[in-house]
Structure 1
Amino acid sequence: MNGSEIDMERISIKHLTYGYENQPRLFNNVNIEIDQNSIVRLYGKNGSGKTTLLKIIANIIDDPHLSYELRFFGEKLSFADIRKRRVFVGDSPVFYEELTMEQNIQFYNLLFHYGPVFSKQVYEYCKKFDVDAYKNEQVKNLSLGTRQKIFLSINLSIPSELVLLDEPFNSLDTSSRKVLSDIITQSKQKTFVIVSHEKEASLSFTHELNSENWQLKSLNNTDGGVGE
């Protein structure tokens, strides 16, 4: 396999350098390569840059202190260029509180024009999470766990090639953790980077990325690497 073929199958972030103003750098010329269709567990101490990395990739963080080179499955791009090709799911569900679950789903679809396939997929996931009975309830009246399941159902239904999840198993019970793991495993043509302090027993990660040294470890003998 030649170099161009490898590029087509990886997300390659080179020479990533970034630090918050008046604070030590979190990233100092870091290189990360993630294979297509990988399920990567991102772990490490608090404050080591896990969520920051996701926000950089999601283009939430974009300032003069940030520098990098990105090849996204063979294309030389910026993080801003891939906004429609990735989805970032933060650790706190975000809704219009006065609207019902169904109205929030409709709002997402109207705003971003995802189409009927999106809505169908959301409701299928909601059914798997056993929260479809709440579709006419105002979100403000729902428990944190229920809100999390609906939020995940919406975001995991968005057409994307790269999914960034920040502590998605928080607030989920054991059965819902299994549902989420199954959804991730069964997703086709998607690459996942998942911040998780503990290795989720129900999910078979393909790689682990340690935020203390930014070394990527393969868990199933697939290729992949990182270096500084």
Structure 2
Amino acid sequence: MEKRHQEYLEYYQARLKKYEHNPLYPHSQESQEALYQAIASSKSLEEWGQKVENQQLTLKSAIALVKDKETARKKFYQDLNEQIRLHAPVKILEIVDSVKTEAELINTVNKIEGEVNIEITLDLFTQAIIDDLMMLEEIEVHQTAEVPEEWKKEINHDYPQELIDQGLKDWVGMVEPNARQWDPQWKFNLDLIWEERYRRLIPFQDEVLKKRVEQFKTYRGL
């Protein structure tokens, strides 16, 4: 066996060992085993190259790695109940076995990731209520503060109303235009606040959160 052939053999043997006995990479182990056996059973690098081409071993190796990674990512997002982020691995796994070339694989995966990233971006606007919690509390504190009669209008009404007016202005002038760059029909979905991926970020009892949601609707003009 030529020195270069031996070096390639050792290289693909090392690649195989990288995935052996790793439960996250069953498809990659299988594909690397095929590559290793192809070169180990070849009398020359030319023969090995022909086997790789005829059996599409490089493409199969790329597909295997994508399948392993996306299968792991799918389980991770399922365990977290991250329904939007789950879309990417699900869609990729649906099509990965049908691609015909490495270029098609790369382009298809990138296209799906790009589409789902827009979904994620829009979904993350739900965090607006989390960002506003301190402001909602400040408004409530001023609205309910016990102050002398001569200060009631300024403290209990005028100042909280200024905050609310600014909140509405920012929403109409900044938040909505930003969201509608991605989806011209976007509207804030209050129901998403109660989805697990957001509810777990808000350490309040449901009754407190319900009150904050109503305050948020007033603050942002929803």
TM range (shorter): under 0.3
Structure having the larger proportion of residues in helix: 2
TM-score (norm 2): 0.23
Structure with greater Cα Rg: 2
TM-score (norm 1): 0.23
Structure having the larger proportion of residues in strand: 1
